[in-house]
Amino acid sequence: MTPGHLDAPKDRLRQRVLHGTLATSLAQAVKFAVQLLSVVILSRMLDPASFGLFAMVMPIAAFVMMFQDMGLSNAVITSTTLSQGQASAMFWINLGLSLALALLFAAAAPLIGWFYDEPRLPMLALALAGTVLVSGLTTQHFALLNRGMRFAPIALIDALSAVTGLGVAVIVATYSRSAWALVASVVASMSVSLIGGWLATGWRPGRPAPFAEVRDMVGLGGGLTSFTLTNFLARNMDKVLIGRVGGAVEVGLYDRAYKLLLFPLQQVNNPVGRVIVPALSRLRDEPHRYRSAYARVVRFMLLLTLPGVAFLIVYAPILIPTLLGGHWATAVPIFLWLGLAAIHQPMTATTGWLFISQQRGADFAKWGVVNAVTSIAAFAIGMPWGAVGVAAAYGLSDLFIRLPAVCWWVGRRGPVSTGDLIRIAAPFLLIVPAVMLALLFVRDQLAAGDVVRLIAGIALSYLFTILGLATLPQGRAILRDILSHIPGRRRAAPVMTEAAAGG
């Protein structure tokens, strides 16, 4: 990638977004299939304690990797202009932090084992420490790919890394039925990303620009890092507390329930965010186009994910024993309580796109503090009742505290108001409860084997959702707009209707 190619493209923005969405969707389909296979296959090969050990140490590795980024990748993606020197400065800052944090992580390995009173953890931590340096070598290359809206190479690398990670995990688990299979999966996936990122960009770091030229980028990155830090605590302190108090088996049950329900939602949000954040950044000065683009993508995501969430919640008592085996049945109550958070997270998780694309780093950081404090308080309140209590406290506080709070906070400023968010979600809020009741009736009335009931349930969930939307004027506008963007189909109207555009 030559210096002249570092500036973000401004031509054919709509075409780039559509092509990027298609490429990302295909890769995400592969990743979702791999994730599902991973949950099913590895849950049958490994016991809950193995997942618990991995869940104890992996949040620490994720924390270190998050901190070494410092939000600089998003600063690169959203910056109006970018020189070779600025890009190189971001790379060397990331790499220096990564090296220091990898060494610190390795030095802390014995303390990790002491904290959990688990002698098997230090060696796992040492192995994961090396991945921190790999992450530092990769971060800015993927930021440049995102900035250039080169989503096809990103999608290909993501798919290859996911497949490689699962393949390595299965091979290792065949010979060593332990947490080492999960660690090997992480190492293999990140190695593929490292090689792919450097080959795809063709960019090599050079002499860094003076700090004065990157001060604003580092400042924005600091605000984003503050949110990422607090969000990390909100996402991972539950596992830390359960692991500390309940042990490896308890946290293993919680981790599998979380992975099966909430993790797939994140796997949809994150790659779509790669496409939409650069696009929204180009539309900051055009509020109507910004609002319309955001509304269209979010409504598509809600139609894609919410029927699946409804199915997972209603069919959990059948799904978990069928997929994972009968020894995982005790994870069902945890799964159901986490479902309260899963219902709205496909929507609220996208608020980060608004903060980042509008360069509202300070607002994002303040919201992160509120998110972390309320989440950790909920974990502490639920802890006396074990993993089920933590899941219940998290789900209830997420629905009744954090959901309204983030919608109000992000909608105070910018092209997308709180009212816009409500209008975007309203048709789905009306339909999903009815869909869940219908699924519950079908689940209890259909006389068939468990596999047949599961297949029927997921198909009916999407069918009921589409039929429900078709009964509402705004729902019909959403369906028409989505159909008009299917490749090869003539658009139903030259522009979006006012309802589909979010008012």
Going from N- to C-terminal start, the domains of the chain cover 1-213
Report d(CA 78, CA 147) in Å as an integer. 7
Look up residue 87 and give its two tokens.
């890009």
Instruction: Report whether 164 contacts 187 (CB < 8 A).
Output: no
List the helix and strand counts (H, then E) for the chain: 20, 0
Matching residue, tokens 């040492």: 126
What is residue 283's predicted lDDT score, i.e. its pLDDT? 86
Determine the distance from the C-alpha atom of residue 285 to the mean position of all C-alpha atoms in its chain, rounded to a whole number.
Answer: 27
Residue range 246-276, pLDDT digits in tens: 777 888 888 878 877 766 676 677 777 777 8
Mean predicted lDDT score pLDDT of the chain: 82
What is residue 248's predicted lDDT score, i.e. its pLDDT? 77
Report d(CA 295, CA 301) in Å as an integer. 10
What is residue 20's predicted lDDT score, i.e. its pLDDT? 66
Q: What is the DSSP letter of 495?
A: S
What is residue 323's predicted lDDT score, i.e. its pLDDT? 81
Instruction: Report whether 185 contacts 165 (CB < 8 A).
Output: yes
Task: For the chain, give the percent of residues with pLDDT over 70.
Answer: 86
Report d(CA 497, CA 503) in Å as an integer. 9
Residue range 455-502, pLDDT digits in tens: 999 999 999 999 999 999 888 888 888 777 665 554 443 333 333 333
Which residues make Cβ contacts (< 8 Å) with residue 397, sequence separation at least 6?
374, 375, 377, 378
**Helix, strand, coil share of the chain (percent; to 5):** 85, 0, 15
Q: Phi-psi bin for 247: left (phi > 0), alpha (psi -120 to 50), beta?
A: left
Report d(CA 386, CA 245) in Å as an integer. 8
Residue range 59-100, pLDDT digits in tens: 788 777 777 666 667 777 777 677 788 888 888 888 888 899
Question: Strands (DSSP E) along 203-326, which ranges?
Answer: none
User: Would you place residue 503 in the very low, low, confident or very high pLDDT band (cuts 50, 70, 90)?
Assistant: very low
> Does the pLDDT at position 405 exceed 80?
yes
- Please state the length of the chain: 503
Closest CA to 239 of 133, 96, 376, 141: 376
Report d(CA 24, CA 301) in Å as an integer. 13
Report d(CA 453, CA 444) in Å as an integer. 10
What is residue 267's predicted lDDT score, i.e. its pLDDT? 64
Indicate the burial class of 432 (C-beta count within 10 angstroms; 0-12, 13-18, 19 or more): buried
CB burial readout 295-304, b (16+ within 10 A) else e? bbbbbbbbbb
- Residue spans of alpha helices (H) in 70-120: 72-78, 84-107, 109-116
Report d(CA 274, CA 299) in Å as an integer. 17
Residue range 190-205, pLDDT digits in tens: 999 999 989 988 888 8
Averaged pLDDT, 421-443: 93
- Least confident segment among 104-108, 240-244, 290-294, 399-403: 240-244
CB burial readout 1-35, b (16+ within 10 A) else e? beeebbebeeeebeebbebbbebbbebbebbeebb
Residue range 18-28, pLDDT digits in tens: 666 677 667 77
Residue of higher predicted confidence among 143 and 494 = 143
Gyration radius (Cα) of the chain, Å: 22
Which residues make Cβ contacts (< 8 Å) with residue 420, sequence separation at least 6?
291, 295, 411, 502, 503
Indicate the burial class of 267 (C-beta count within 10 angstroms; 0-12, 13-18, 19 or more): middle
Q: How many CA atoms lie within 13 A of 365 on its CB side?
A: 14
Residue 241 carries which side chain, given as an amino acid letter? L
- Residue spans of alpha helices (H) in 150-179: 151-175
